[in-house]
Amino acid sequence: MSASFSPVIAGSALGPNAPAPATPRNVPNRGGAMNPTVDAIRARFSGAVQRADVVWGETTIVVDRARVHDIILWLHDDPSQSYNYLSDVTAVEFRDLEQPLEVVWHLRSLPYRRFLRVKVLIEKGSSMDVPSVWDIYKAADWLERECYDMFGITFSGHPDLRRLLMWEQYKEGYPLRKDFPLRGRFSRSEQLRQALAANPEARYSKEELSIADAFEDLPVDMRRRLDTGERTGE
Amino acid sequence: MGLSPRPEPSFTELTGDEPWMTTKLDAFVNWGRKNSLWPMPFGTACCAIEFMASAASKYDLARFGMERQAFSPRQADLLICAGRVPFKLAPVLRRIWQQMPQPKWCISMGACASSGGMFDNYAVVQGIDSIIPVDVYVPGCPPRPEGLLYGIMMLQKKVSNERMSDKTLRNEMEPDPKSQLYIPPSVIDEVSEPFGNSVHQTRSGL
């Protein structure tokens, strides 16, 4: 079904004489040694890196939205980088209305013991489309769904971009956006009415159930509805 | 083998010196019910940790007839909702309550379950009494096991004062828009406190 499991040994690309990993001491707030990957990206993708900072010893680069997928694919595939671990996909919105939204990827290269934070800026009022990295890292599946759920960023290329934390019929918007009121847009009674109108069983599509091999165990009527493409209970 | 057969009881023995007593049926039934509550923990947060401490050996819920915890709502008498309930869980909690057979009671354990607590935000139900009826509210964040035990003893007192002749006690009412008692959400909006100190609040629009 899948390729045999091959363990990734941290620091294996650094050779036998690599120093043992140690907690960095006396790290400056700004400046310091930059991740060498940044120069490699600049050499390969000329003009794609808009900005590169080192903050508390961690390198952050801001890249073009159109080329972020190519860059991350290259970072993953190239044996001289091998960023094989995606630890987070998230987004940041600032209270300053002028400041653009940021979509953030946290990439880690286990063989080289490197960490790189890749950012894409989304100007206010522009499209919320960002390329999905699901085809590179399967870990991006739920991370991107959560990011879509909380910020409304649509990852094009994601196979199943639905809400993850809020229920799928949630109508009030994207909770972590700055224009979202803390208590939601609807009144409490309306929120409760909508929440209680949800069917607790309306959670699965046929694709998800066939993954779990649970389809045959379902009641007949639910199987019939799933066969017609409905999600159960909706 | 060495045992003599049990002597046949004669009629006079049964009716003669046997001790007996009279009581009200209510008192007898309630005595049985209050000392054999089977709790179902609905633990979603840190209150559930305190509930586990209450059930464990030091505080020992079994002293109150709660030796058997029911992890199925169909075999439970008492729902102990321990922890915050998000809106996504609201239909689940209501379904669990509907699955419990009568007679049934509910304890709302902790500030979050009783009122939403510190989570006055878009995701958390502001008190489970807006979903299901609650008999006893236990304050605390989270309440200590002593607090929960006190709440359970209050519930036992409540159970012992129930009257079987009071049929309304066990009536389950679903909100029925045709009923005279039904209050639509828009009216609830109007009569309830204007909520929220943040901007962009809109009403339900119903």
Summarised one tens digit per residue, pLDDT across range B36-80 is 999 999 999 999 999 999 999 999 999 888 888 888 899 999 999
Q: How far is B159 from chain A (nearest CA, A)?
A: 29
CB contact under 8 A, B189 and A166: no
Q: Is the pLDDT of residue A118 over 80?
A: yes
Instruction: Say what the pLDDT of residue A117 is.
Output: 95
Contact A177, A93 (CB under 8 A): yes
DSSP A63-106: E-TTTHHHHHHHHHH-TTT---EEEEEEEE--SSTTSPEEEEEE
Q: Which 3 state secondary structure label does DSSP give A18?
A: coil
B82 pLDDT above the threshold of 50 = yes
| A195 to B203: CB separation less than 8 angstroms, yes or no | no
Nearest-angstrom CA–CA distance, A186 and A183:
8
d(CA B143, CA B120): 19
A56 at B interface, C-beta within 8 A:
no
Q: What is the pLDDT of residue B58?
A: 92
Q: What is the nearest CA distance from B191 to chain A, expressed in angstroms?
A: 11
Alpha-carbon gap, residue A218 to A224, rounded angstroms: 10
B121 contact A CB<8A: yes
In angstroms, the CA B27 to CA B160 distance is 7
Which residue has better confidence, B170 or B104?
A: B104
| Tokens coding A48 | 């794609």
Which range is least confidently modeled, A219-233, B16-30, B66-80, B181-195? B181-195
The answer to ipTM > 0.90 is no
Nearest CA-CA partner of A188 in B92, B190, B199: B190
- Which residues 74-93 of B have a C-beta within 8 angstroms of A? 87-88, 90-92
Q: Does A196 touch chain B (CB under 8 A)?
A: yes
Q: B202 CA to chain A: closest CA distance, Å?
A: 6
Residue A12 distance to chain B (closest CA, Å): 41
- Binned at pLDDT 50, 70 and 90, residue B204 comes out as very low
Model confidence at B122: pLDDT above 70: yes
- Report percent pLDDT > 90 for chain B: 37
Residues A196, B24: Cα–Cα separation, whole Å: 41
Edge-first strand order for the sheet with A85-92 is A49-55, A58-63, A114-122, A101-109, A85-92
Residue A121 DSSP code: E
Type and span of the H or E element at B32: helix B25-34
Residues A194, A198, A203, CA angle at the centre, nearest 5°?
A: 140
The count of CB pairs under 8 A between chains A and B is 86
pLDDT at B196 over 50: no
Burial of B54 (0-12, 13-18, 19+ CB in 10 A): buried
List b or e across A170-197, with b for residues whose CB sees 16 or more CB atoms inside 10 angstroms. bebebbeeeebbebbbbbbbbbbbbbbe
* Sign of the dihedral defined by the CA atoms of residues A101, A169, A142, B45, in that order: positive
Beta carbons of A192 and B121 less than 8 Å apart: no
For B204, the closest of A189, A195, A197 (CB atoms) is: A189
Residue with tokens 């609830």: B188
Q: What pLDDT, on the 0 to 100 scale, is given for residue B98?
A: 87
Specify the higher pLDDT residue, A100 or A201.
A100
Q: Is A115 helix (H, G, I), strand (E, B) or coil?
A: strand
**pLDDT band per the 50, 70, 90 thresholds, residue B23:** confident
- Going by pLDDT thresholds of 50, 70 and 90, the confidence category of residue A49 is very high
Could you tell me the strand order of the sheet in which B105-109 lies?
A: B39-43, B78-82, B105-109, B136-138
For residue A35, give the amino acid letter: N
Supply the pTM of this predicted model: 0.77
Q: Higher confidence at residue B25 or residue A233?
A: B25
Tokens of A174: 């994207």
CA distance A24 to A60: 17
How is residue B141 annotated by DSSP? S
The pLDDT of residue B151 is above 70: yes
